[in-house]
Amino acid sequence: MPGATPTYKGSLTVARQARSRNSMLERGIHVLQAFRPTGNPMSMSEIARRTGLPKTTAHRLIEELTELGLLERTREQYVLGRPVFELGELVPVKHRLREAALPFMQDLYEATHETIHLGVRDDLDVLYIDKIRGHSGVDVPSRVGGRLPLSSTGLGKTLLAFSRDDIVSQVVSRPLRRLTDHSIVDPKALEGELAQIRSAGVGYDHEEATPGVSCVAAPVLVKGEPVAAISITVPTSHLQPARLAPAVKTAALGLSRTLSR
């Protein structure tokens, strides 16, 4: 009858259908996230392995995402579709922060002609928001939209040094990832370095993410909270703390003041 109250059985059916839709949506998101951090093409079997989904389920989701344009097929592999990129460009933290930071990053680049990075903390990783490639052309594993462990990069350690105690505890309570022979894997050593960063206002990466590459970073603080960090990345032979540290601190301070306004 029109206007009749749904039966209990009917309500359960609607609830189950909603849970099923949510479950499929969650699995679809897992498929898209499987392309992190590199975005490289992957086969269907590799996507299934990365997501832990049964191959039949992964196949169905991949086909649906491809029809929607969120994935694109290249021969026997898949890549993220252009709509994913377009949506990513609209993310507020990326758009607003990049817009505010760009003048300071460009000034820093003009002063050093080295690679400049802008990053934010995302869970226990540093997420790269923007990058200006320097003249030295150092080969670093960073890319806009990519991520690396907080404990293995100058940006990450600087963000971590000014983060809440519970975030630091989460990082040091887990095994620290070794990216190179110089990566910090001792929690006590990391805690000691974080204290030095808080005192100096800058953090360093001495070949901890990439052999032969070092960087110096400074935090962008708004009301004492680290909303981002800026770094200068150089070949280790070009690392000159006395020249680079004041420059990156000045850029980070300028961005901090802009965001605070």
Kindly state whether residue 251 falls inside one of the protein's structural domains.
yes
Which of 4-13, 57-66, 210-219 has the lowest average pLDDT? 4-13
Helix axes 44-51, 55-67, angle to 10 degrees: 110
* pLDDT value, residue 104: 96
Regarding whether 237 and 137 lie in a shared domain, the answer is yes
Distance CA 187, CA 111 (A): 35
Q: Are residues 12 and 138 in the same domain?
A: no
- pLDDT reported for residue 218: 97
Does 182 reside within a domain?
Answer: yes
Q: Same structural domain for residues 225 and 102?
A: yes
- Asked if 152 contacts 119 with a C-beta cutoff of 8 angstroms, the reply is no
Q: Structure pTM? A: 0.68
CATH number of domain containing 164: 3.30.450.40
How far apart CA 64 and CA 61 sit, in angstroms, is 5
Specify the amino acid at residue 84: V
Establish if 35 belongs to a structural domain: yes
Cis amide prior to 37 (ω within 30 degrees): yes
Residue 2 belongs to a domain: no
pLDDT, tens only, 158-210 = 999 999 999 999 999 999 999 999 999 999 999 999 999 999 999 999 999 88
Q: Give yes or no for residue 22 having a pLDDT over 70.
A: no
- Tens digit of each residue's pLDDT (9 = 90 or more) over 111-145: 999 999 999 998 899 988 899 988 766 666 677 77
Q: Which of 41, 62, 86 is the last residue of a domain?
A: 86
> Are 148 and 233 part of one and the same domain?
yes
What is the reported pLDDT for 18? 47
Non-local (6+) Cβ contacts of 215 within 8 A are: 117, 153, 154, 155, 204, 205, 231, 232, 233, 234
Classify residue 31 by its DSSP letter.
Answer: H
Which residue spans within the chain are E strands per DSSP? 71-74, 77-80, 115-122, 125-132, 147-149, 203-206, 213-222, 225-235
Name the domain count of the chain: 2
- Residues 68, 101, single domain; the answer is no
Q: If DSSP codes are grouped into helix, strand and coil, which group holds residue 74?
A: strand
Backbone phi, then psi, for 241, in 5-degree steps?
Answer: -55, -40
The proportion of the chain whose per-residue pLDDT surpasses 90, expressed as a percent, equals: 48
Which domain, by its residues, includes 64?
8-86
Rounded Cα distance, 117 and 130, in Å: 6
The token pair that represents 241 in the structure block: 């703390």
d(CA 261, CA 243): 28
Percent of the chain with pLDDT over 70: 85
Structure tokens at 158: 């600087």
